A and B are shown apart, each in its own frame.
Chain A
Amino acid sequence: AAQLEASPRPLSTDEEPTALEHITNYNNYYEFGTGKEDPAKKAHTLTTEPWTVKVDGLVSRPAEFDLEDLLKPVTLEERIYRLRCVEGWSMVIPWVGFPLSEVLNRVEPLGSAKFVAFETVMRPDEMPGLRAFFNVLDWPYVEGLRLDEAMHPLTILTVGLYGETLPNQNGAPIRLIVPWKYGFKSIKSIVRITLTEEQPPTSWNKQNPREYGFYSNVNPEVDHPRWSQATELPIGQGIFAKRKPTLLFNGYADQVAQLYAGMDLTKFY
């Protein structure tokens, strides 16, 4: 991985980051298998150069950016964020990225745009999970945000980790990070960003709408139908790691709660 220049910014948490070894060896990236260590073992087959990201839909200036062109005008920042997986574990990760809003502003969303849809690359010949006996998800992986969520300063496109370019298993070369939502919302290896008027379909919601909603905000009060979300197990703290209470919006309530003012979070889970 190559070194990245990044300036630290105030939006970071001051918690101790999880070890790089764990961040890069405990992943959910089903395109490379459903085991936690499958992505670390198998994702090296993904070609990340050259890479283009298409930004289209309800925008005045749709474009297909080469990754270099996408990154040229932005200032990379280090953002140390908490990550809470819907499965009940958590990490603290020093990402390197920039606000998604910078890309969206560049293409000039139309007034009719209300949502942003994202799509992961789909290459069966490079992704063994896509050649599996049967599909665990409907490929390609898709995700979505409301436009105001996408424009929020905490929402970033990420190209690095611990000061270096992203390893493939972590979603290289460019992925989304939305720190107040369960990890699966933070889609990996993005090839397309589309602004839409209607709420776009999202992969886990399609797979099981009762268990995974469109919003998927971290919320200790709203349990997954099959397990509690009240606590989480921090990764990388050995066999005697203690569960800790999960925080509303993953601890980012001060910054994001107003996005959901007046909404019933049990209904819009």
Chain B
Amino acid sequence: MKTLLLHAFMLFSGLIAAPFLLGVINRTKALFAGRKGAPLFQLYFDMAKLLRKGVTYSRTTTWIFRAAPVIGLSAVMTAMTLMPLARMSAPLSFPGDLVLFAYCLGLMRFVTVLAALDTGSSFEGMGASREVQFSALAEPVLIIAIAALVCAAGSPSLTAIFAAMTRATWQALGPALVLIVAALLVIFLVENARIPVDDPNTHLELTMIHEVMVLDYSGPDLAFILYAASLKLWVLGTLIVNIAISFLDLHGFFTPLAFTAGMLVLAVLVGIIESIMARLSLLKVPRLLMGALVLAVLAFAFIARFTS
């Protein structure tokens, strides 16, 4: 009963807190630019407004277009149930759940791409093509990084991995874990369409990727998509922060505290990255992703060498 309550609390805290992270990112960017910035809860207001509005569907779209936001949201929610928070057990956990985790995110991307193609707009098709091109390079990085974690912890389930990782793991495999965190940070930025790859603020510009695929959505559907994007940010951020806080080796009440602080630090870090970097030209993005792949493979090779 106690674990059940704990799991419910974990899930709901994620579901409620996720849009707040975007608020923190935007506030950091605003402070860097010398502006006051939108309220921290702006995304909640936006979603409340969108949920009260009606929907417009283009006549060329089919049921795929209408189903995509719901499937995407449920896929990312499923991924959330697999991800442990702050070294507690995840609500759903079984050997090999990390593959399901990776492909829940994959499913979310797949339906978004399908829906973008379903509109028949050449503009959205362009975004879909870019999204698929970059994710084809990003997915191996995520899988190899997770495989390296499996090797480091010696168990094929996310809950067990983060339960097994302690200060001792860091002392034994520190440089490799730093490489994994760096690779995952790149993936975090790519998957969430953040700045070195895609600019979340641009609309109607020829270089955008994620925003262009959801241009045709309106009302509650758009709210679902915004919410799913913020949950994706949350769940991938959780993966990074879980690795990072295992270094502190905390117990009891301090672990959730460190976890919350870690998520906020990550959001601020993303804000800083977005403020000091320009978006890469599209031709250079594969180079960035290959760089992340190099980091992940290097970490995997090192860990495999030391644990075999």
Partners in one complex: no
B interface with A by C-beta (< 8 Å): none
A interface with B by C-beta (< 8 Å): none
